[in-house]
Amino acid sequence: MDSVPALDEPLKKVLGPATAKVMAEHLGLHTVGDLLHHYPRRYEERGQLTHLADLPMDEHVTVVAQVADARLHTFASSRAPRGKGQRLEVTITDGSGRLQLVFFGAGVHKPHKELLPGTRAMFAGKVSVFNRRLQLAHPAYELLRGDAEETVETWAGALIPIYPATAKLESWKIGKALQTVLPSAQEAADPLPESLREGRGLVPLPEALLKIHRPHTKADIEEARARLKWDEAFVLQVALARRRHADAQLPAVPRRPRPDGILAAFDDRLPFTLTEGQRKVSEEIFADLATDHPMHRLLQGEVGSGKTLVALRAMLAVVDAGGQAAMLAPTEVLAQQHHRSVTEMMGELAQGGMLGGAENATKVVLLTGSMGAAARRHALLDLATGEAGIVIGTHALIEDKVQFHDLGLVVVDEQHRFGVEQRDALRGKGKQPPHLLVMTATPIPRTVAMTVFGDLETSVLDQLPAGRSPIVSHVVPAADKPHFLARAWERVREEVEKGHQAYVVCPRIGDEEDGAKAKKKSDEDEAEKRPPLAVLDTAEQLARGPLAGLRVEALHGRMQPDDKDAVMRRFAAGEVDVLVATTVIEVGVNVPNATVMVIMDADRFGVSQLHQLRGRVGRGSAPGLCLLVSEMPEASAARQRLNAVASTLDGFELSRIDLEQRREGDVLGQAQSGTRSSLRMLAVIDDEEVIAEAREEATRIVAADPELERLPALRTALDALLDEEREQYLEKG
């Protein structure tokens, strides 16, 4: 179908170069179609002020209100020593609350003439506090007169749309631009198949666009939203369904374990029985590996649920079938950790070709960027000849020099830390597409999994293995109750006296060179927050102060790899009592003897990250303790977040909280290779039903018509969603 010129028209031609430039740079809007899909954030009824208690600090707000009074003050200042400085203070109200506006200097003349008591207007600006009162300094404003014809036309109807705006382009200017392009909405091609739309009672797309931008009633808004949510969910799910369909057509070598092979020998030597969950997930994986098209599976498991064991059994099944398996880890610390734990679990089965190796053993090699040349050459040779059945490494695995004899399975640990290109490069090293298993310890709510990882089948490990101890978490309010912090350090000492070890986690390393810059800034602005606590300073203060006499060491990402590994080995061997670290320990570090973790400035970490960190303790038979230290006041959102983390160990519950607090745009944007999230109307958490139904419909439609030949308008919408970058993302995902 020919694209409709009106919707493809660059905004430059329609709105002029200056406005178009701001829209492109600040809002990512380039065409008439983009602007039509820039939906209002909310709607104001005339004279309704955003509740003053809800005005967010430091954010750009738009309010509709009436001027209550306006006063011009003169004052002396360094610029106007003779008392000629002028300040205009305007109080606005909506009957339920009041807000102060201030204008200074030459900027007072126009508002002094226009903002007379009784005048109604829209005001936009950044909320700040002065003398303990909220205010807008130099807000932009638009009078709501209702006399000039254009204004009546523009502000007709009781509902005024408030758009996501920027300091450079106020909401009402976006509204005026939309007024110009709104007639083009009639040309919008409807991506939903007619039968689907009518079956679900959804309004046509042109009608939805008119109603979302110019509603007459609240029912108009609801109808438009219901329709536009379906568009977003459905088009995205069709893209993912086509991806799954294309993957199912790819050839792969089926990999089935031998009944008397290395996997059977490994299972025999396990000192414990698998949990029900581990058995079930392993069966799902083995069934996928036995098919002749590549497995694409996401394995979600709570911290410590035994994902590594499940992945290792999958790798051994592939080795049994004559193939090789590669495990990709995001950091050297983690790659070394995995290599150690895999070789320990396998024992003589990991000593292929060596004295003392079992009969059906294989080699397990490590490949990282910082290895010496000789060790690296050796590892590369073992991979090329097929001598090594399993390789564990960082992105050094992806380099051109690395050749596999027969790569059958790629296991990616902590998926969110790898770029799509990195995964793709590794998958490209198989003679045929290898099977793919993606693991994450960050629990992902079902809807996010369906949206972000919708091209992967999902398995969930939600049982903890027997012998895992519970973790108790407490918030330590360091500013309100300093004695609580003193008690926290006593608790660390008590654990060490019992023969256990502790982690102290800080947000920053402390050898950054921006100290001077930070100093300069805080002179100008005393209200600036202090910088987050740093590993190097904290380690020193603890060793001299509350933890004097204990063996305290520091670990952070900027250390040399050998030094990092040496510290981790000493800690694992029990030669270090307290490890003060950054989040390098967040993923996969396994020291069962560590029982307590103190997280400094815990409010600087995300919910999921805190949950990940906490999973490093309680990994042995002794119970774990996690102390979340914060100076934030009790009523703050940050403290509520910490209370939520302290109150539950359920990672899925926490991931919902995390997602509700961040915008899902961040989640999807990150997963969609940094492109702007395509979701403007759909809320991934709240619209679970729409997403699940859209997925079913999409799967059905793609199965019947993979190329969408009978649905040209849907193809057009898909092309718009899958701009080149996102198309590559799905291709490589």
What whole-number distance in Å separates Cα of residue 184 and Cα of residue 413? 47
Cα 379 from Cα 254, distance rounded (Å): 26
Average pLDDT over residues 417-443: 74
Mean pLDDT along residues 409-431: 71
Determine what percent of the chain is predicted with pLDDT higher than 70: 81
- The DSSP element (H or E) to which 104 belongs, if any, is strand 98-104
pLDDT at 730 over 70: no
The stretch 549-557 carries a mean pLDDT of 89
More confident residue, 678 or 513: 678
Say whether pLDDT at 628 is over 50. Answer: yes
User: What average pLDDT does the segment 106-110 reach?
Assistant: 85
523 has a pLDDT exceeding 80: no
Assess whether pLDDT exceeds 60 at residue 662. no
Which pLDDT does position 389 carry in this prediction? 93
Band (632; pLDDT cuts 50, 70, 90): confident
| Higher local confidence (pLDDT), 45 or 173 | 173
Strand partners, 458: 298
Judged against a pLDDT cut of 90, whether residue 31 lies above it is answered with: no
Question: What's the confidence (pLDDT) of residue 336?
Answer: 86
Which one has a higher pLDDT value, 656 or 273?
273
Which of the pair, 513 or 68, is modelled with greater confidence?
68
How much is the pLDDT for 597? 93
Instruction: Quote the pLDDT of residue 471.
Output: 86
Given a cut of 90, is residue 285 above it in pLDDT? Answer: yes
Structure confidence at residue 3 (pLDDT): 38
Backbone angles phi, psi at 718, to 5 degrees: -65, -40
Task: Enumerate residues 6+ apart whose C-beta is below 8 A from 100.
Answer: 89, 90, 91, 130, 133, 134, 135, 136
Region 706-728: mean pLDDT is 74
Give the per-residue pLDDT at 725.
Answer: 44
Specify the residue for token string 């895992």.
468
Task: Tell me the pLDDT band of 535, cut-offs 50, 70 and 90.
Answer: confident
pLDDT tens digits, one per residue of 296-324 = 898 988 766 788 899 999 999 999 999 99
The more confident residue out of 512 and 441 is: 441
pLDDT at 598 over 80: yes
Helix (DSSP H) and strand (DSSP E) numbers for the chain: 28, 21
The pLDDT of residue 415 is 57
pLDDT bin (cut points 50, 70, 90) of residue 636 is: confident
pLDDT at 697: 92
Residue 280 has pLDDT above 50, yes or no: yes
Report yes or no: 581 and 504 within 8 Å, Cβ to Cβ: yes
Q: How far apart are the C-alpha atoms of 363 and 353, rounded to whole Å?
A: 7
Which range scores top for mean pLDDT: 75-84, 147-156, 703-712?
703-712
Local confidence band at 51 (pLDDT 50, 70, 90 cut-offs): low
Helical ranges in 615-680 per DSSP H: 637-647, 651-661, 664-671
Query: What are residue 64's DSSP bridge partners?
Result: 122
| DSSP string covering 678-725 | S-SS--TTTTHHHHHHHHHHHHHHHHH-TT-TT-HHHHHHHHHHS-HH
pLDDT > 90 fraction of the chain, expressed in percent and rounded: 26
Average pLDDT of the chain to the nearest whole number: 81
Poorest-pLDDT segment among 193-202, 523-532, 569-578 = 523-532
Range with the lowest mean pLDDT among 182-186, 256-260, 561-565, 602-606? 561-565
Rounded average pLDDT over 709-713:
88
pLDDT digits (tens, 9 = 90+) for 64-101: 788 999 999 887 666 655 557 888 999 988 766 788 99
- Higher pLDDT: 495 or 397? It is 495
Backbone φ, ψ for residue 573 (5° rounding): -85, 0
β-pairing, 296-301 with 140-143?
unpaired
Which of residues 685 and 124 earns the better pLDDT score? 124
Q: What pLDDT sits at residue 422?
A: 64
**Which band of pLDDT confidence, cut at 50, 70 and 90, is reported for residue 524?**
very low
pLDDT for 669: 40
Whole-number Å distance between alpha carbons of 339 and 345: 10
Q: What's the pLDDT at 201?
A: 93
For the ranges 7-11, 187-191, 354-358, 622-626, the lowest mean pLDDT is seen at: 354-358
> From CA 707, how far away is CA 700, in angstroms rounded?
13
**Which residue would you say has higher pLDDT here, 702 or 452?**
702
